[in-house]
Structure 1
Amino acid sequence: MTVAALATAAAAILGTADFLGGLAARRSRLIAVVLVSQLGGLLVTGLLLSLLPGTPSAPALLWGMASGVTGATAIALFYRSLAAGVMSVVAPATGATSMAVPVLIGLALGERPSPLAIGGIAAGLAAVLLVGQDGRRSRTGSLTGPLVGGILAGAGFGGSYTLLKLAPADAGLWPLLGGRACSVLLVALVAVAARRSPRPAPGSLAVTLLAGVLDATGIALYLLAVQQGMLSLVAPLVSLYPASTLLLARYVLGERLRPVQITGVACALGAIVLISVS
């Protein structure tokens, strides 16, 4: 698969994982959702590692662990925001921030995308902003709380993407194994310290595990893409994941799409095309 195809597939899978994680967070305790989903992700990462082996090293595991801590914190913020707010508003705000952070860092590191690719980045940013133009209030009566949480989560995701890029290119999926193991340990310690039960609510186990499995699969595809391509191009494609979250929210939860949001989906498709041909 090409770099663009890997990144686009990662976006679709991550958007589905986020939708399922948001559903699970509405049914169960947040700490249980994060821990169980991270355990599911750890299991699938181990399986993928046997299929796509790389070269293990201390830098690979350390960068992965740093990414895992950052990503686990971002997931907790994101799931909480999805549970409290409107998915089709929170997810795009997260996507816009998670796109901006690695693009700016990639440019600072000397990456220079082509003019066509820069047009694709601009179209991607427009996409995640447009699909968030919902205008409805969250269940708590205000958009402010969920949006702030979503923006902070986006910064965490962007930081996590960047840290994975810094791992050695020949590491394969070893950084993910270090990241998942570290995040599981961190969340478990938080659960013990807070005296919160990590047991998911009845009926939420399957969807929580599936969210973790898909999240790990999507991140694995992202890592494979960013090991071959520029951070400033791969991250914008992966950050289009709110489009699939939005579509699932529309057809599963009945959240209506406004014309401006449909325009945002079209911009997302345009971004994929522009970056793919650059």
Structure 2
Amino acid sequence: MGEALALASAVLFGTTHFLSGLLARRVDSAAVALLGQLGGVVLMLCLAPSFTAAATVVDGADLAWGGLSGIGTGVGVSSVYRGMSRGQFSVVVPLSDVAAVALPVLVGVALLGDRPGAVAWCGIAAAPAALWFVSRTGDAEREGAPGEGRGGFAAGAPDGLLAGGGFALQFVGLAQIDAEAGLWPLLANRAAAILVLVPLFVRRPQRLRMPTRLVWACSGAGLLGMSAITLYTLATREQLLSLTVVLTAMYPAIPVLLGVTVLRERLTRPQVLGLALAAASIALISLA
């Protein structure tokens, strides 16, 4: 059951990123992120009462961890959607995923006394090379060509890396929540994410202007994203966290494949090598 939940979470994460990336190319990327979080709040208000734990009071620490993870969610979604609006999906999303998987391991080693095995260290060692190759543009690309940013970095690459830091905080926070807290901490997650995003509109409220159909589309993408986080959280309660992570971390395959096949994105040979290293890095770290 846990494996099925994790795989379903990966599919929803990948679909959410692809759809939100398309929307971010039509309207303001921050608006896509904010409306998505609001859509997630609606879903969680409907689901949380059904998953109420046996305990009558949810521990404040669990809500705090949910809120902290929400800060990461807000930073992550706003950054990855901004990156996808500027660059190739097949570059930005894998960058965010490698960083999201590798950073929690490094934090555990530096601050929590974790001691990863040799396999995990091989994955960590492969991560910098993967990030370098995926984020760089090829020498053969013309200046100003689609997908090319400044200083030799692919467009959207810095946003992808920043998003990875946000998602790392999100997953670290979610991992600290007690199963008996039910899904209420996920509501705290969405509330905190909204608080992170709202300041982006204080001086520029016009960023939210868009046709009604796109408002519904952004909210619908948010429902998918909230469903993905819910399934991920439930999967961690059914099986080992390491297995859940490795299965869920497969989600970039969807935006990468759709980016290459549907959007006709073109990758350089170094970027293809970087994607292979990224997949290996994620698998080695997660499996370990």
TM value normalised by structure 2: 0.77
Question: Could you tell which deviates more after superposition, 140-149 or 241-250?
Answer: 140-149
Deviations 1:155-201 (A, max 9, x none): 1101110011112232121111011122224423431x223235352
Structure-2 change in CA distance of 1:110 and 1:140 (3 Å) = closer
Q: Which runs of 5+ in 2 are unaligned?
A: none
> Who is 2:74 aligned against?
72
Using the alignment, how far apart are the partners of 1:229 and 1:258 within structure 2? 38
Structure-2 change in CA distance of 1:132 and 1:9 (3 Å) = farther
> Who is 2:218 aligned against?
208
Give the deviation of 1:227 after TM superposition: 3.9
> Who is 1:98 aligned against?
100
Deviations 1:207-239 (A, max 9, x none): 312221111111111222234555555334323
RMSD: 3.7
Asked whether the 8 Å contact 1:165–1:227 carries over to 2, the reply is: no
> Who is 1:155 aligned against?
165
Using the alignment, how far apart are the partners of 2:51 and 2:237 within structure 1? 13
- The answer as to 2:179 corresponding to 1:169 is yes
Give the deviation of 1:22 after TM superposition: 0.9
Structure-2 change in CA distance of 1:100 and 1:176 (3 Å) = same
Asked whether the 8 Å contact 2:89–2:259 carries over to 1, the reply is: yes
Alignment of 1:1-278 (within 5 A): 1-2=1-2, 4-54=3-53, 55=55, 56-106=58-108, 109=112, 132=134, 138-139=146-147, 141-142=149-150, 143-144=153-154, 146-191=156-201, 193-197=202-206, 199-202=208-211, 203-255=213-265, 260=272, 264=276, 271=283, 275=287
Asked whether the 8 Å contact 1:14–1:241 carries over to 2, the reply is: yes
Using the alignment, how far apart are the partners of 2:227 and 2:176 within structure 1? 19
Structure-2 change in CA distance of 1:8 and 1:162 (3 Å) = same
Give the deviation of 1:257 after TM superposition: 7.2
Give the deviation of 1:152 after TM superposition: 1.2
Question: Could you tell which deviates more after superposition, 246-255 or 195-204?
Answer: 195-204
Q: Percent identity?
A: 34
Corresponding pairs, count: 271
Using the alignment, how far apart are the partners of 1:182 and 1:36 within structure 2? 14
Amino acid at match of 1:168: D
Using the alignment, how far apart are the partners of 2:242 and 2:49 within structure 1? 29
Deviations 1:85-129 (A, max 9, x none): 1111111111110110223345664667888x859968x969x86
Amino acid at match of 2:169: G
Deviations 1:20-43 (A, max 9, x none): 111111111123212111111111
Q: Which runs of 5+ in 1 are unaligned?
A: none
